[in-house]
Structure 1
Amino acid sequence: MGNLLGCSAAGERLVTAAKDGDVIEAQKLVEMNPGLARYSTFAGLSSPLHAAAASGHTEIVMMLLEKGADLNLRNICGQTPLMEACCSGRWEVVQTLLLYRCNVSKAEFLNGRTALHFAAAGGHARCIRLLAADVYPGFPLSAITNSSVVEQVGDQHKSLSAKHCDPLALTRFINKAANGGIAALHLAALNGHSNCVHLLLDLHANISAMTLSCASSTMTIGSTPLHYAACGGNLKCCQILLSRGADRSTINSNGWLPVDVARSRGSHRLIPLLTPHSSQSVPAFPPSNYLPLPLMSILQIARVNGLNSSTSSCDESDLCAVCLERTCTVAAAGCGHELCTKCALCLCSTSSINSEMSAPPGSVPCPLCRAGIVSFVSLPTNEIEAGQDIGLCSKCHGLIHGRCQNSFATACGSELCMNPFEVVPPAVCGEVDGYIIPNHSGFDV
């Protein structure tokens, strides 16, 4: 009993340290007892990983994952660390969890919401773009899949998109309904997050999706996203929806038009816009600045090669021009400027391109020449240094080391593997020497 109480006390200390961002304390506790990384409070109320994810402490999140924490662990409400991070808008944590291949499709127990619902409700467009890039690492929009854009993308990225991606996976994920039929677009519109509404529509969110008659609000039962936008009272959300084809004359299960919802909420400035057969002009909106086009390729590269690159035995010309700390490992398709994987991933996670710039929709500006980047490709390497993160199992890498060293670990399905914890990136390994290596990412694509 004494040992159990002592373990519980240490676990509570780790949860507190993870919540407060005390890296030194967290490391000391985990070094003393590595099993604490998998600790969960009584009845699964929380865990150190949940606490760190919700507070945005990326360093502690990575440390816990490296020590064996379950990145898909649920708390008492069925929420995963990814949901906690998306709810708080901690895009750095979301990025880290995706690199470790967390399951983005899990839904909580209470309302059936996924991480996408939490990100949309909170207005966190950066989290949404990361989730979309994880589900479909290819080109989701017909507007950006013209030949002029595709020709700029490396052959490696094109082959991955064609072979390993389900074109409908992203649409199913974006339109997945929680309890009551509420989709992410409904929540973004209700809370007035126009950037999220814009991005979700560009990612093929269903603009005519109806909630069920058992939805919580009596004014929005059986309603479309336009009804929810009218309830929220945000003018720009209504304009974006109308510009993409939303119908002003649709009635909900209560028999109300969107204009009736706006009138009941006191949003009188929306009445001229939402009135059926309104003559008020609606502005045109270009593609969203948050489209995750280059993020899709760099996320896969980071999963395979890791984020860290060595600076040993290299001159200054090999260093990344952004951080001046790591060697260049990727190149931008098009302009060809080279960056390290970590800087390229952060650039794609945070940047957005001005719609007035003459660049493909969904690209991000190169930090060196301002040209629009649509994709990244890995730079060729002659050797793999000892200790460097790699993403191929020993079979897929020609038994170079005998044991895989990547911390982004999932179980290898190859019968020839020497290490049961070696990494098999599903988007890369595929079929090797006649053996099919299964997808262990946790999400069917």
Structure 2
Amino acid sequence: MGCASSTVAVADLNKSLKAGESGRSVLLKLEAAPWLLSTPTSVITTTAGTPLHVACEHKQLQVVQQMLSFLSCSPLCTVREALQPYCRRMGQQLPGSPAEGVRMAVDMINCKGQTPLMYACTVGSPELVKLLLSQGADPWVGDRCGSRTALHYAAMSGSAACVEAILAHVAPRHMSRQGVRLVNARSFCGLTALHYAVFFDHTQAVAELLRHDPLLSAVTSSKSYDMLCTCETLSSPLHFAAIKGNAETARQLLQHHALLSAAARGQDPRLQRNAAHQLPWQVAASHHPGSRDLVAMLHPGQALERALGLVPGGGPGSADALRTGPASLATLAAAALQAKLRADLERALPHQEEEGDTEKVEEEQGQRQDGGEDDGLCGVCFAEREQVAPAGCRHGLCGRCAAELCRGMQTARGGRPRPLGCPFCRREVSAFVAVASEPGPSGGQAACGGRCLPESAGGVGAAGVVLVEA
């Protein structure tokens, strides 16, 4: 094909893409000239991207789908013809299969090292992000302007949807490399996606990144040309929030740190110093002396919970309460089990004895203690009679100890119930049954103390254990 006709074909395709023509129209042009797929859309400047870049820039999801479908459904000779211009520019070998050709196409770069995935993140198109990732796009590719990844571009554009799309739909093999998680990938200057989102005041993108537990202690290694103000090296995201004077973003970062578990929390980010040995509060005071609330929140002299206005302890509004978040299905099921066990106890335990009966029980207990007999006593406190037992294992308990076990289902943090285990065999307790008070064959309880009583089909144990229906 001559130079003139080639120029006309490229210009015509570029015009079609920018005009938003249908994918079918673009597909017809590619079928007539497959090499157009990887040819720069401008013959005047080499900074132009391929038609795939242009389609992503204009959020043309259908066109991108048609282009990738064209490659995957074409014979190998057509795929190679389509990608030959790109392979020549990059010095790469031609693909060995249509599938390899599709993976090469979604990772094509322009002269700035930018991929179609970066274009999709810049314009905020999560649908395109998901499509490109599903076709094998590599989210770790860094551009030639600082080795910024597609996640950096999503953070810079403030597209929380693209951040979520990348971190939720990336292939498992791309989740980490050389021990570094994708959310913590750094640019040439040591900037993470969180640095960019904080610097450009994209609070929604910051919130989405924090959902994936980024490294709050990540610091810059040098100054970056794409930042509009001077940032000292070794600056953390909290330093960036202080430089920008963004109290909301600073609160997001500190609250995320406060809600981490003690094992994962690490150092308070307010204590991290930059290369000038400045703490975040000092940076905020020098850049924004009038922002007293921000400086006070960043000052490490007061407890973090107090700085954030959280209620001390474990009640509502505390860090523990916020850390737990919405209850899971497992937690709700455990809470329902707790309520059921308490209802079992109310039905199984006898009503409060009269005063005379109480004196009689105390007298019998004193006689048993004097005689040294433990049969029929609660296996936990050895002070009261067995009144209930777990339905599965039948290890007897008194009503008071069983009630305490139910209350013990509350965890120490957040007040969420957990499944109850038998204190003797650790089997999960699904129901309580009442232990009848009739004497055994020898005039007392069975030799096992009522802890190994079998059930009968009629709901009454062979040794007098009565099942309590839920």
TM-score category of the 2 structures, normalised to the smaller one: 0.5 to 0.7
Q: Distance in 2 between matches of 1:165 and 1:120?
A: 18
Query: Which residues of 2 match residues 214-225 of structure 1 at below 5 A?
Result: 214-216=223-225, 217-225=229-237
Residue 60 of structure 1 pairs with residue 59 of structure 2: no
Alignment partner, residue 256 of structure 1: 278
- Return 5+ residue gaps in structure 2 as ranges: 72-81, 83-104, 258-267, 311-318, 327-415, 417-470
The equivalent of 1:234 in structure 2 is: 246
Identity over aligned residues, as a percent? Answer: 30
**Equivalent residue pairs, number:** 263
Q: Does 1:281 align with 2:288?
A: no
Task: Report the Cα offset of residue 18 of structure 1.
Answer: 1.9
Which whole-Å CA distance do the structure 2 matches of 1:57 and 1:48 have between them? 11
CA offset digits 1:371-426 (Å, max 9, x no partner) = xxxxxxxxxxxxxxxxxxxxxxxxxxxxxxxxxxxxxxxxxxxxxxxxxxxxxxxx
In the other structure, the counterpart of 2:8 is 9
Letter in 2 for 1:188: A
Tell me the TM-score normalised to structure 1 length.
0.54
Aligned to 2:294: 270
Structure 2 distance, partners of 1:222, 1:107, is 21
Q: How far apart in 2 are the matches of 1:182 and 1:198? A: 17
- CA deviation map 1:328-364 (0-9, x unaligned): xxxxxxxxxxxxxxxxxxxxxxxxxxxxxx9xxxxxx
Contact 1:186 1:224 in 2 (8 A): yes
- The whole-number CA distance in structure 2 between the counterparts of 1:234 and 1:127 is 23
- The equivalences for 1:264-343 within 5 A come to 264-266=286-288, 268=291, 269-278=293-302, 279-282=306-309
Length-normalised TM-score, structure 2: 0.51
Are 1:116 and 2:128 an aligned pair?
A: no
> For residues 9 and 324 of structure 2, what CA distance do their matches in structure 1 show?
50
Deviation at 1:109?
0.9
Cα distance in 1 for residues equivalent to 2:113 and 2:221: 23
Candidates 162, 166, 178, aligned match of 1:127: 162
SS in 1 for 2:230: coil
Question: 1:190–1:71: structure 2 CA closer, same or farther, 3 Å change rule?
Answer: same
Q: Whose helix fraction is larger, Structure 1's or Structure 2's?
A: 2
Residue 244 (structure 1) shift: 2.6
Higher gyration radius (CA):
2
> Tell me, what secondary structure is at the counterpart of 1:64?
helix
Quote the offset at 1:84 in angstroms: 0.7
Provide the residue aligned with 2:195 in structure 1: 186
The aligned runs of 1:23-422 (5 Å cut-off) are 23=22, 25-40=25-40, 41-42=42-43, 43=46, 45-68=48-71, 70-135=105-170, 137=172, 172-216=181-225, 217-245=229-257, 246-266=268-288, 268=291, 269-278=293-302, 279-282=306-309
Distance in 1 between the 2:182 and 2:212 partners? 10
Say if 1:59 and 1:170 are closer, same or farther in 2 by CA, change over 3 A: farther
CA contact (8 A) 1:220 1:228 kept: no
Where structure 1 has 5 or more consecutive residues not aligned to the other structure, the ranges are 138-163, 290-357, 359-445
Shift, 1:44, TM fit: 5.3
Instruction: Point out which structure has higher relative CO (alpha carbons under 8 A, 6+ apart).
Output: 1
Provide the C-alpha distance between the structure 1 equivalents of 2:134 and 2:201, rounded to a whole number of angstroms.
Answer: 30
Deviations 1:14-46 (A, max 9, x none): 123223322264244224323322222443521
How many angstroms does 1:119 deviate by? 0.5
